[in-house]
Amino acid sequence: MDDDGQAERELLRLIGRGVSDSADRLAKISRTEWVTQTVSISMAPLAKFQGVLAGDAEEHFGAHFTLPGGVFLVMIPSRSGPAFADAFLPASKKHPEGVKDRERSSLAEISNIVVNAVAAVVADACGMALMLSAPEVSHGRKADLLREAREMVSSSGEKSVVMAYVHMSSEALSSDCSVVVLMSEAWQARLFAALE
Amino acid sequence: MPLRILIVDDSPAARFMLREFIEANGHQVVAEEERLEGALRSYAQHKPDLVTLDLSLAQGDGLSVLKALREQDADAKVLVITGNSQKKVLDAVYAAGASGFLAKPIDFPSLMAAIVRVTL
């Protein structure tokens, strides 16, 4: 039990470090400062996460990145789409039609960069390679996007997961970015074994 | 002499950014592709000086594209530009014959330096 507690703390520390890298990458992309407000981790049956994030009714852009035994989810308020696209592709501002699905594509690419920062820190510490899928993009409230992520994990037969939740914000952009990592028990066990 | 470059990335935003940079620096983008089949076809057709390749593609994976390009042409110069900077992935990329590697978000001075370095 103590070993698992120590491994869990180490995983939380690694995710925190990955999030710091994510915030640096977001800052580079958006040319504004990002602050990490929340980093939390918990383990429970999948169903227990049903009501999580239900209090946030705002529409969000969601990018799901899957891998065997887990899902990474990035959520950005949909209202921030234009600001992110302008920051990411300033050369396209005058002719936005020159980029197919400019906002969606920009948010997907930004999400890819953000989530890989977290994945890299965890993967390197564990001596593993985590090959994330290309993003599956959708829109919805945070609770709905999280439900989609839970369904992706449960479709592979998982009953319990570890959920890490990270929330970052930018005052200059009046926006925020949340990252959720859902890990199956098997994947979590592999990470914990590698961290011991 | 302007370089002729093939971009392989399934993100329209990433392709736009790369194209803007490449053309602003006097080089030519011969084609943009999103998947393996198109990448191989365009490579055979245009015989570019350089391929820029993302590892995360919606159809297939970038590592397979890299291996297939190198199989098609053992002298193919492929610069991997990707959000995935994991050490084991980096090892696999170089083992598969990549000429260089850059992590996203793209730092344009580093991109120019990498293009010059791999095409020398």
pLDDT tens-place string over residues A131-188: 888 899 999 999 999 999 988 888 777 777 878 888 889 988 889 999 999 988 888 8
Given this model, what pLDDT does residue B16 score? 94
pLDDT digits (tens, 9 = 90+) for A82-98: 999 998 898 888 888 88
Q: Which residue from A28, A100, A115 is facing B105, i.e. has the nearest CB?
A: A28
Mapping DSSP to helix (H, G, I), strand (E, B) and coil, where does residue B34 land? coil
Q: Which residue from A98, A101, A112 is facing B83, i.e. has the nearest CB?
A: A112
Size of interface A-B (CB pairs under 8 A): 76
User: How many angstroms separate the CA of residue A129 from the nearest CA in chain B?
Assistant: 6
What range defines the domain where residue B30 resides? 4-118
Average pLDDT over residues B10-18: 93
Query: A115 near A179, Cβ under 8 Å?
Result: yes
Given this model, what pLDDT does residue A72 score? 94
Q: Which one has a higher pLDDT value, A108 or A44?
A: A108
Nearest alpha carbon to residue A87 among A71, A77, A102:
A102
Q: Which residue from B16, B92, B104 is facing A98, i.e. has the nearest CB?
A: B16
Given this model, what pLDDT does residue B3 score? 96
In the predicted structure, residue B79 carries a pLDDT above the cut 60: yes
Domain locations in chain A? 2-195
- Rg (C-alpha) for chain A, rounded Å, is 17
Average pLDDT over residues B37-51: 96
Given this model, what pLDDT does residue A3 score? 60
Average pLDDT, rounded, for chain B: 93
Angle at CA of residue B13, ends A180 and A74, nearest 5°: 5
Strand order in the sheet with A175-184: A35-45, A160-170, A175-184, A70-77, A59-67, A136-141
Supply the angle between the helices A2-30 and A102-126 in degrees, to the nearest 10: 140
What the block records as the tokens of B38 is 């198109």
Query: Residue B94 is part of a domain; what is its CATH number?
Result: 3.40.50.2300
Given this model, what pLDDT does residue A1 score? 41
CB contact under 8 A, B83 and A133: no
CB contact under 8 A, A29 and B89: no
Given this model, what pLDDT does residue A5 score? 75
Distance CA B58, CA B23 (A): 26
Q: Which fold has domain A2-195?
A: Chemotaxis protein chec (3.40.1550)
In the predicted structure, residue A2 carries a pLDDT above the cut 70: no
Given this model, what pLDDT does residue A4 score? 63
Query: A108 near A65, Cβ under 8 Å?
Result: no
What the block records as the tokens of B84 is 């995935």
CB contact under 8 A, B56 and A120: no
pLDDT digits (tens, 9 = 90+) for A17-62: 898 899 999 898 888 899 888 888 888 777 777 777 888 899 999 9
| A126 Cβ contact list (under 8 Å, min separation 6) | A190, A191, A194, A195
User: How many angstroms separate the CA of residue A48 from the nearest CA in chain B?
Assistant: 31
In the predicted structure, residue A112 carries a pLDDT above the cut 70: yes
Number of domains in chain B: 1
pLDDT digits (tens, 9 = 90+) for B103-116: 999 888 999 999 99
Query: Which residues are bridge partners to A178 per DSSP?
Result: A75, A167
Average pLDDT, rounded, for chain A: 87
